[in-house]
Amino acid sequence: MNLLVYYFKMMHKVLLLVYRWQKYLFFFIHQLYNIINLLKNKISVLAIESSCDDTSAAIITDGVVISNRTATQIVHQQYGGVVPELASRQHLIHIIPVIDAAIKDAGMDLQNIDAIAFTRGPGLLGSLIVGVSMAKSLALSMDIPLIAVHHMHAHVLAHFAEEPKPSFPFLCLTVSGGHTQIVLVNDYTDMKVLGSTIDDAAGEAFDKTGKMLGLDYPAGPIIDKLAKAGKPVFHFPEPQVAGLNFSFSGLKTSILYFLQKAVAENPNFIQENLNDICCSVQSSIVHILLKKLKKASEITGIKEIGIAGGVSANSYLRQSFDEEGKKHGWNTYIPAFEYCTDNAGMIAVAGYYKFLNGEFCDQNVTPLARMEF
User: What pLDDT digit, counting tens, does each position of 161-181 carry?
Assistant: 999 999 999 999 999 888 999
182, 268: one domain: yes
* Cβ atoms within 10 Å, residue 356: 15
176, 149: one domain: no
- Residues in contact with 26: Cβ distance below 8 Å, sequence separation at least 6, in sequence order: none
User: What's the pLDDT at 15?
Assistant: 54
25, 102: one domain: no
184, 310: one domain: yes
183, 246: one domain: yes
The helix or strand, by DSSP H or E, that contains position 331, with its residue range, turns out to be strand 331-333
120, 203: one domain: no
171, 212: one domain: yes
If phi over 0 gives left and psi between -120 and 50 gives alpha, with beta otherwise, what is residue 4?
alpha
Q: What pairs with residue 72 in β-bridges?
A: 54
Say if 365 falls within a structural domain: no
Looking at residue 20, its amino acid is: R
CATH number at residue 53: 3.30.420.40
289, 271: one domain: yes
Contact at 8 Å (CB) between 102 and 58? yes
Q: Give the max Cα distance, the chain.
A: 101
User: What's the pLDDT at 4?
Assistant: 46
**Is 219's pLDDT higher than 70?**
yes
Residues 290-303: tens digit of each pLDDT: 999 999 999 999 99
Over residues 6-29, the mean pLDDT reads 54
284, 149: one domain: no
Say if 326 falls within a structural domain: yes
> What is the number of structural domains in the chain?
3
Contact at 8 Å (CB) between 370 and 120? no
329, 183: one domain: yes
Query: Could you list the residue range(s) of the whole structural domain that residue 82 is in?
Result: 44-157+343-356
